[in-house]
Amino acid sequence: MAAIRIDLPLTPEKVASLRAGDEVILNGELYTARDAAHKRLVACLDEGRPLPFDVRGQLIYYVGPAPASPGHAVGSAGPTTSYRMDAYAPRLLEEGLLGMMGKGKRSPVVIDSMKKNGAVYFGAVGGAAALIARCIVESCVIAYEDLGAEAIHRFTVRDFPALVLIDSQGNNLYEIGPKQYQAEE
């Protein structure tokens, strides 16, 4: 089956159509944030302050990109382990965030929040940070510059490959995949 092309930002309809295991190609704008930035985003919400960007319909990529070399938008930009954002993700999902992207498993609390809020979790290929960076055509720091690589960036991506790890119904490739493999033996 061919990869599903997705123009960002996400829509509830597009997210609802995705299933765990789907290969996707992302095009458009997404945002980056790791745990320090997530902590600040949730503090803004707790204090009634506006977020530095409207999370509704957006995709947050869990990455701290390396500095760009000449002629490139960013340096290496591989995914970071997602569980570090699990304490903050449900709050952002409640605000309308529709997608997250990183690597690794998510907690049951995050998966329940994804189902409740109709969100998707994508996996980016770990170990291929330099190749992934080629798909990032623009990068701009939009918030928390003092965090360095962990500042929030807005990326424009072109033909960015990813995999649906957990869909909006809670189907989880980390559970489905091993079962399918065992059944094939």
Measured distance CA(80)–CA(70) in Å, rounded: 24
What average pLDDT is seen over the chain? 94
Which residues, other chains included, contact 119 with Cβ-Cβ below 8 Å and sequence gap of 6+?
15, 93, 97, 98, 99, 100, 113, 168
**Side chain identity, residue 131:** L
Pick the closest to residue 30 from 72, 74, 61 (CA basis). Answer: 61
The pLDDT value recorded for residue 128 is: 76
Is-contact 25 4, C-beta < 8 A?
Answer: yes
Domains of the chain are 4-184 (3.20.130.10)
pLDDT tens-digit map of 98-121: 999 999 999 999 999 999 999 999
| Residue that wins the pLDDT comparison between 179 and 97 | 97
- Check residue 185 and give its pLDDT: 58
pTM: 0.94
Q: Summarize pLDDT for 25-72 with one digit per residue, the tens.
A: 999 999 999 999 999 999 999 999 999 999 999 999 999 998 888 889
